Structure 1
Amino acid sequence: MTFNIKTTKGFGLLEVVIALGVLSVGVLGLVKMQAYMEVKAENALKTLDALHIAEAQMEYYQTRASHVSGAVSTASNLIPFSDLNNDDYCLTTNAVDKGFVLYCNVSPVSGGLTALSKALNTIDIKVSWADRRGVPQAVSLKTAISKYSEFD
């Protein structure tokens, strides 16, 4: 009695090539994902650094000397409310040292209330940079500041 049963041992060449093709597509996907995640992580760190610079500038503007009752430091260290729009108070050297560009804009409140516009300024802070691909990125903060302190 003879049997025609083929016994297969191992893998054929076609099966190995298909398996290598599927494996290489998966590995290439992981490499691309790693590069994408590295770019996103770098952008997140740059955004945090830019936010810290913008917050430091905003806090610097809030140390103004116009009838501030609770001021601890001397009057020479404080910014007068009338001089807030002076470009000398924009701390650009701190931003440039870290590879950022800092824009500061202080303007009186626009509108029909002229009495309010003399006592209230809007402050726009923008920190920008170019990411590794050359795409411009930016973080901006905006607030209004009164010449009157809440402690007066």
Structure 2
Amino acid sequence: MTSNIKKITGFGLLEVVIALGVLSVGVLGLVKMQAYMEVKAENALKTLDALHIAEAQMEFYQTRASNISGATGLIAFASMADPTYCMEDIAMSSGFSLICDVSSPKLSGALRTIDVKVGWDDRRGDSQAVSLKTAISKYSEFD
């Protein structure tokens, strides 16, 4: 008489090695993803800091006075392109570089285009930057 009872056995050594290999590949993938996410999180924080510096510079340019209003301590419209109005020292103390470009378009002398660029190097050494652009008119609603 033969019986159909199968002998129950455990896992073989080859199956255990294959399972450990698959598990180790998955763990290595998670470690790589963790390092990638740390870089992305750091870049997000640096981008926020750079954006705050760029916005502060833009607001500094917008606190200008025309010749009519007579306000003191503000940037005169005619001298907005002067490089002394670019707050580079504040950016450099935070580890950023600040480039301010104020130009007058050919169409009108009553308009200034302002391009503020804040840059930094991430932990991999790649250059990152945030740029804000605007245009400011010589004429104000208060004049």
How many residues in Structure 1 have an aligned counterpart in Structure 2?
143
Could you tell me how far 1:65 is from its partner in structure 2? 1.1
What secondary structure sits across from 2:112 in the alignment?
strand
1:96 aligns with 2:92: yes
Report sequence identity in percent. 72
- Aligned pairs (5 A) from 1:15-94: 15-67=15-67, 75-76=72-73, 78-94=74-90
Q: What corresponds to 1:130 in structure 2?
A: 121
Q: What corresponds to 1:147 in structure 2?
A: 138
Letter matched to residue 55 of structure 2: E
Letter matched to residue 34 of structure 1: Q
Distance 1:96 1:68, change over 3 A: farther
- Residues 75-119 of structure 1, C-alpha deviations (whole Å, 9 max, x = no match): 12x111111111111001110011100000111112xx3xx2x21
Q: What corresponds to 2:11 in structure 1?
A: 11
Could you tell me how far 1:150 is from its partner in structure 2? 1.9
Could you tell me how far 1:34 is from its partner in structure 2? 0.6
Query: Would you identify which runs of 4 or more consecutive aligned residues in structure 1 move more than 3 Å?
Result: 1-6
Could you tell me how far 1:5 is from its partner in structure 2? 4.4
Letter matched to residue 108 of structure 1: S
Question: Which structure has more RCO (C-alpha within 8 Å, separation ≥ 6)?
Answer: 1
Q: Give ranges in structure 1 of 5+ residues lacking alignment.
A: none
Please report the TM-score for the alignment, with normalisation by the length of structure 1.
0.86
Hey, what's the Cα distance between the residues in 2 that align with 1:5 and 1:12? Answer: 20
Hey, what's the Cα distance between the residues in 2 that align with 1:92 and 1:27? Answer: 45
Please report the TM-score for the alignment, with normalisation by the length of structure 2.
0.91
Letter matched to residue 72 of structure 2: A
Could you tell me how far 1:10 is from its partner in structure 2? 2.5
Hey, what's the Cα distance between the residues in 1 that align with 2:7 and 2:68? Answer: 94
Q: Give ranges in structure 2 of 5+ residues lacking alignment.
A: none
Contact 2:67 2:76 in 1 (8 A): no
- Residues 29-65 of structure 1, C-alpha deviations (whole Å, 9 max, x = no match): 1111111111111111111111110000000000001
